[in-house]
């Protein structure tokens, strides 16, 4: 089987980008990140290689079909169209896992039963025999994902979760263990593959049952994580290619044999004798019994291994969820930091914990913090360069004194961050506003940006000062601004150099887009499962309007199968969403070469490159819009199913000559031209950030206009519900 197939690899939340890079290195094509999964394409051999070699995936699923499934009848009909006789032995066994719901399928057991009936009925019609259900190692395991009234049906090539490597039995776990693929993600995030390649050592001072050590040894020894597994989900599948699979196993055996010969120092310890015994047993079963030194010992006696080159200390210490509150564990973390400073100067360190205060208790300065999920528990992997010069500057016997006003600002910021942080984690939002002039004396807007990709785990803040009125003493205003910036870095735990400060004057025309600085620092962030570049320093706006997050999501939902036009596109974020929503063509129009180049980079970051379905037009938008309307009316251009128009409040440019654009004055004309581009049943989404905007509905008679502003204001902008106005407009 050499033709291209579609797959999805699931993974823990926070690991998506690492998994995408790993799959790309394994030969996968069309790799795209989604929430807790990565999709890709390739021949069957690519999926086999992912099953055998992926250290980060939880499962590898072969997509077989997608169809409407709003009801049980639609599900049965859709399942019946799949040629199950080509996949499942007539007298074999199957199991069906269901995730999600639709309006008519709200119980996963019922959904699985209905799907099973369709599979069995079809096979019985073709062979006169029927497979049976088995939950223990069936011949074929199916996965059904229900989302937005549709079903995606896949064959689970893994069978059992891929984190079950084969070196550990179910009872061989220490308290609060890491799953093996999460342990591998910790090591990859910590830079272990590069450190191992340079000959560095690996040490875990609180190793528990040894998962980090064994996964680290497998990485360093180029050993496939699936090499010890005896059962695979494709073993009983009728489409299985036995020859291709055994060729991959032979290759992996050869690489492991060579790799074990070049292992460097790998050592661990734990105070728990039982955990150490388990760790030794598992290491031996994995083939590293003599290569990993595991001893019983207290943290207080930890020393660097003799003869080992400086490398990586990595550990998953106890944290509040499993042993107690943070204040009782702070001494343990402080001792860890002290031992590292005393014995491991020049090493790298990585500590996984769910409590920022515990990380601070080490007394070390973290240079990166990556969010990972240990089951349902959100944790962070803090990374340190161990050096006496790297002692955390803010670890003091007494807090720095703040003015009463600054303390009020810090408390409000802390409260907002705690409240909005819960919402952001629940909704997987990584860039959001945490403060917007809540206190009149501190008139700033504070936006938090969580880096992804190469910037993964690093946090940034964008502080925009609203220009104080003339009645405010300039010196007092400067003092408050300095206090605010210091509090932002402290409360949000962001390095001072990663806090960008802007003075936001009232802007007219294109001034809001003009260059403010020349740092050229680009940060990759994630939003809605997509990737974007922001620039926090060089322009007044960062390239991603955070209040438009729900508007962009609305564009994605409307874009499927349509020709989409994005007017006044700025950095093209709405175009990226339209592509992700399944648009068949997207036109991106803006006058600025700088921002269109920015848009191209964001599109390429998401796999939407140049081509006939992705056109970028550098033009005066008003002129382009009038020309496109004329081309359509003359039959020289095709109409659009969706137009998104988010014009500036006011604009004047050299190309416009003496003309100006004022959204309040000119919106009727631009809406009229935009609606003229639409096909029957098409939609215009019109948005503006003019807070005093009033739509002239009387001048737009004949159109059906729905004001959706309220529903498009996200919770982080709830304090200012007129941050933007948004309308959905269709012909009557």
Q: What is the pLDDT of residue 690?
A: 94
Is the pLDDT score of 245 beyond 60? yes
Both tokens of residue 649?
């409040």
267 SS3 class: strand
CATH 3.40.50.150 residue ranges in the chain? 180-225+262-390, 545-731
Give the chain's length.
Answer: 732
Is the pLDDT score of 655 beyond 80? no
Q: What is the pLDDT of residue 306?
A: 86
> What mean pLDDT is reported for the chain?
90
Is the pLDDT score of 472 beyond 90? no
Alpha carbons 333 and 461: distance in angstroms, whole number: 27
Mean pLDDT, residues 26-51 taken together: 94
715 SS3 class: helix
47 SS3 class: helix
Would you say 383 and 366 are in contact if contact means Cβ atoms under 8 Å apart?
A: yes
| CA neighbor of 198 nearest in space, from 291, 293, 309 | 309
Bridge partners of residue 637, in order along the sequence: none
Does domain 5-156 bear CATH number 3.30.2130.30? Answer: yes
Alpha carbons 284 and 272: distance in angstroms, whole number: 19
Both tokens of residue 327?
């204040």
- DSSP H or E stretch at residue 323: helix 320-323
Would you say 726 and 694 are in contact if contact means Cβ atoms under 8 Å apart?
A: no
Q: What is the pLDDT of residue 658?
A: 62
140 SS3 class: strand
Q: What is the pLDDT of residue 498?
A: 87
Q: If you ran DSSP here, which 8-state letter would residue 638 be given?
A: -
Does domain 545-731 bear CATH number 1.10.10.10? Answer: no
| CA neighbor of 618 nearest in space, from 606, 603, 602, 600 | 600
What CATH number was assigned to the domain covering residues 404-523? Answer: 3.30.750.80
Q: What is the pLDDT of residue 519?
A: 59
Q: How many CB atoms lie within 10 A of CB 404?
A: 7
What CATH number was assigned to the domain covering residues 180-225+262-390? Answer: 3.40.50.150
Mean pLDDT, residues 328-346 taken together: 90
Is the pLDDT score of 350 beyond 70? yes
CATH 3.30.750.80 residue ranges in the chain? 404-523
Alpha carbons 449 and 463: distance in angstroms, whole number: 11
pLDDT band at 320 (very low <50, low <70, confident <90, very high): low
- DSSP H or E stretch at residue 646: none
């519900």: which residue's tokens?
721
Q: What is the pLDDT of residue 2?
A: 59
Q: What are the DSSP E strand ranges found in 517-584?
A: 523-527, 530-534, 563-567
Is the pLDDT score of 172 beyond 90? no
CATH 3.30.2130.30 residue ranges in the chain? 5-156
Is the pLDDT score of 243 beyond 60? yes
Mean pLDDT, residues 85-93 taken together: 95
Q: What is the pLDDT of residue 56?
A: 97
314 SS3 class: strand
Is the pLDDT score of 628 beyond 60? yes
Measure the CA angle with vertex 553, ends 508 and 639; round to 5°: 80
Q: How many CA atoms lie within 13 A of 668 on its CB side?
A: 10
């269109």: which residue's tokens?
596
Q: What is the pLDDT of residue 376?
A: 82
Q: What is the pLDDT of residue 588?
A: 97
> Among the listed ranges 308-322, 399-413, 495-509, 519-533, which one has the minimum average pLDDT value?
495-509
Q: Tens of pLDDT along 682-701?
A: 999 999 999 999 999 999 98
Would you say 529 and 452 are in contact if contact means Cβ atoms under 8 Å apart?
A: no
Bridge partners of residue 378, in order along the sequence: 373
Alpha carbons 12 and 376: distance in angstroms, whole number: 10
The most confident of 431-440, 471-480, 515-524, 658-667, by mean pLDDT: 431-440
Would you say 670 and 625 are in contact if contact means Cβ atoms under 8 Å apart?
A: yes
What would the 3-class secondary structure string for 651-678 be?
ECCHHHCCCCEEHHHHHHHHHHHHHHCE
Q: 404-427 and 474-491 are packed helices; what angle lies between their axes, rounded to 10 degrees?
A: 40
Both tokens of residue 205?
């001072």
Please provide residue 533's backbone torsions phi and psi, each rounded to the nearest 5 degrees. -105, 130
The percent of residues in the chain predicted with pLDDT above 70, rounded, is 92
Both tokens of residue 435?
């403060």
Both tokens of residue 136?
């223990």
Bridge partners of residue 614, in order along the sequence: 586, 611
Alpha carbons 359 and 380: distance in angstroms, whole number: 9
Is the pLDDT score of 721 beyond 60? yes
Kindly give the pairing relationship between strand 348-353 and strand 366-374.
unpaired
Both tokens of residue 416?
């907002």
Q: Tens of pLDDT along 188-229?
A: 999 999 999 989 999 999 999 999 999 999 999 999 999 999
> Among the listed ranges 120-129, 169-178, 263-272, 633-642, which one has the minimum average pLDDT value?
169-178
């Amino acid at each position: 089987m050499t033709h291209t197939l579609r797959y999805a690899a699931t993974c823990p939340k926070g690991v998506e980008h690492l998994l995408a890079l790993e799959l790309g290195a394994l030969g996968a094509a069309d790799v795209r990140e989604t929430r807790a999964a990565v999709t890709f394409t390739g021949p069957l051999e690519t999926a086999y290689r992912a099953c055998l070699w992926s250290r980060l995936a939880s499962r590898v699923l072969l997509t077989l079909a997608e169809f409407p499934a709003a009801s049980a009848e639609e599900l049965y009909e859709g399942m019946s169209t799949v040629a199950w006789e080509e996949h499942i032995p007539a007298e074999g066994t199957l199991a069906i896992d269901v995730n999600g719901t639709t309006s008519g399928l709200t119980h996963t057991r019922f959904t699985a039963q209905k799907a099973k009936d369709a599979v069995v009925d079809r096979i019985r019609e073709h062979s006169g025999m029927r497979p049976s259900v088995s939950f223990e190692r069936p011949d074929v395991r199916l996965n059904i994902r229900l989302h937005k009234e549709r079903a995606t049906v896949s064959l689970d090539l893994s069978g059992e979760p891929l984190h079950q490597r084969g070196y550990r039995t179910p009872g061989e776990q220490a308290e609060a263990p890491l799953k093996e693929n999460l342990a591998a993600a910790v090591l990859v995030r910590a830079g272990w593959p590069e450190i191992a390649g340079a000959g560095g050592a690996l040490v875990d001072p609180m190793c528990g049952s040894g998962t980090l050590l064994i996964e680290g040894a497998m990485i360093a020894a180029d050993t496939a994580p699936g090499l010890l597994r005896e059962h695979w989900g494709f073993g009983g599948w009728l489409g299985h290619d036995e020859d291709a699979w055994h060729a991959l196993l032979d290759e992996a055996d050869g690489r492991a044999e060579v790799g074990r010969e070049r292992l460097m120092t790998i050592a661990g310890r734990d105070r728990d004798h039982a955990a150490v015994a388990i760790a030794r047993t598992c290491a031996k079963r994995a083939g590293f019994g003599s290569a990993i030194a595991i001893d019983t010992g207290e943290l207080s006696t930890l020393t660097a291994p003799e003869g080992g080159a400086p490398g990586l200390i990595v550990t998953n210490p106890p944290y509040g969820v499993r042993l107690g509150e943070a204040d009782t564990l702070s001494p343990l973390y402080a001792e860890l930091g002290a031992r590292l400073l005393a014995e491991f100067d020049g090493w790298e360190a990585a500590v996984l914990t769910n409590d920022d205060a515990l990380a601070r208790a080490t007394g070390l300065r973290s240079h990166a913090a990556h969010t990972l999920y240990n089951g349902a528990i959100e944790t962070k992997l803090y990374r340190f360069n161990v050096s006496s010069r790297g002692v955390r500057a803010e670890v003091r016997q007494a807090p720095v004194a703040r003015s009463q006003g600054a303390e009020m600002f810090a408390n409000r910021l802390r409260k907002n961050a705690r409240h909005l942080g819960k919402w952001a984690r629940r909704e997987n939002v990584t860039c959001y506003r945490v403060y917007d002039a809540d206190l009149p004396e501190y008139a700033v807007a504070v936006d938090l940006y969580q880096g992804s990709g190469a910037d993964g785990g690093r946090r940034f803040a964008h502080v925009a000062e609203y220009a104080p009125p003339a009645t405010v003493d300039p010196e007092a205003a400067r003092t408050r601004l300095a206090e605010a910036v210091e509090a932002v870095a402290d409360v949000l735990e962001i390095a001072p150099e990663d806090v960008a400060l802007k003075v936001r004057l009232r802007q007219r025309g294109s001034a809001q887009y003009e260059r403010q600085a020349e740092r050229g620092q680009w940060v990759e962030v994630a939003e809605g499962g997509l990737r974007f570049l922001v620039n926090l320093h060089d322009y007044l706006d960062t390239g991603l309007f955070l209040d438009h997050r729900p508007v962009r999501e609305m564009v994605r939902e409307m874009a499927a199968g349509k020709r989409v036009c994005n007017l006044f596109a700025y950095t093209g974020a709405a175009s990226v969403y339209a592509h992700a929503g399944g648009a068949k063509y997207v036109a991106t129009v803006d006058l600025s070469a700088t921002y269109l180049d920015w848009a191209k980079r964001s599109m390429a970051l998401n796999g939407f490159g140049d081509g006939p379905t992705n056109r970028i037009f550098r033009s005066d938008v008003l002129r382009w819009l009038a020309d496109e309307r004329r081309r359509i009316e003359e039959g020289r251009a095709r109409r659009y199913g969706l137009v998104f128009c988010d014009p500036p409040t006011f604009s004047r440019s050299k190309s416009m000559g003496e003309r100006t654009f004022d959204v309040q004055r000119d919106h009727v004309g631009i809406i009229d031209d935009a609606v003229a581009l639409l096909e029957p049943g098409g939609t215009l989404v019109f948005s503006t950030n003019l807070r005093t905007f009033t739509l002239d509905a009387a001048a737009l008679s004949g159109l059906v206009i729905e004001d959706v502003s309220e529903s498009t204001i996200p919770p982080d902008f709830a304090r200012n519900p007129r941050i933007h106005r948004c309308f959905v407009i269709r012909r009557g």
